[in-house]
Amino acid sequence: MEIVEGRDFSKDFPSDIKSAYILNESAVKAFGWKSAVGKQFMVERADLTMGTVIGVMKDFHFASLRHNIRPLALILDPVRGNHFSLKIAPKNMSETLSFIENKFKEFAPNAPFSYSFIDDEIAELYMEEEKLGKLISSFSILAILIACLGLLGLASFAINKRTKEIGIRKALGASISNIITLLIREFLKLVLLANIVAWPVAYYAMNRWLQNFAYRVDVGLWLFVLSALLALIIAVLTIGYHAIKAALANPADSLRYE
């Protein structure tokens, strides 16, 4: 915690126990106070009494980023404490946990020892997004593969229909690069058109999903430009084989093609 006004709990002040509170900045704003230190405060619970605000701590996230930072009040009540936090080194983890468990049982032999890691608890807050991300990635890859197969078949069919045209163009002096550009350009127009149609749908879907979070990034135009560029590159790589094969073919064979 970072104290921005007043002080933290201290052993030098025995009266802090059960009668002193530390509020976060959001709680102070919710009450409309300019300065909270010295104000009378109480959490509405039967076992808590009226106390005094001794400090204000800087806002920090203690829940999922789907929510705004909520008002928070801390009270010092050692009797009610049922867990504690330790910062440990990542090395020799099993030995460290064994040592902690042994020490724990020395003080509380009849209490069960259980532990969790804060990074795992944070990860659980976003497990749903993690699963959704993997699912979308899997289906996206599958969709791209299916689209590439369809584009490959369409390119093969279209180029075979234009075999004689390609032969005539080569006989009249068209270069290999001219032929490849001609064949690929028509497909790239369709891919670009598909991107333009998909952009509004993707923007709407992404924006709706991001509305679930109080803190979120903006959907920038660069993301759609990048996706269009990747789609064009994938299309060129998919069609390129047939286009190059047709461009390198002997014009005489192409003109005799039936």
Residue 253, pLDDT > 80, answer no
Question: What is the predicted pLDDT for the residue at 25?
Answer: 95
Closest CA to 231 of 188, 181, 183, 182: 188
For residue range 85-130, what is the model confidence (pLDDT) as tens digits? Answer: 899 988 888 999 999 999 999 988 888 889 999 888 888 888 888 8
Question: What is the predicted pLDDT for the residue at 101?
Answer: 92
Neighbouring residues of 184: CB distance < 8 A, sequence distance ≥ 6? 235, 236, 239, 240, 243
Burial 206-244 (b: 16+ CB within 10 A, else e): eeeeeeeeeeeeebeeeebeeebeebbeebeebbeebbe
What is the chain's mean pLDDT, rounded?
84
Question: What is the predicted pLDDT for the residue at 17?
Answer: 86
For residue range 55-91, what is the model confidence (pLDDT) as tens digits? Answer: 999 999 888 888 889 999 998 887 777 778 899 988 8
Residue 47, pLDDT > 70, answer no
For residue range 163-204, what is the model confidence (pLDDT) as tens digits? Answer: 777 777 777 777 778 877 877 887 888 888 888 898 999 899
What percent of the chain shows pLDDT beyond 90? 24
Question: What is the predicted pLDDT for the residue at 237?
Answer: 83
At residue 110, what are phi and psi to the nearest 5 degrees?
A: -95, -5
Average pLDDT over residues 38-44: 86
Residue 133, pLDDT > 80, answer yes
Helix (H) and strand (E) counts in the chain = 8, 5
Question: What is the predicted pLDDT for the residue at 192?
Answer: 87
Question: What is the predicted pLDDT for the residue at 250?
Answer: 65
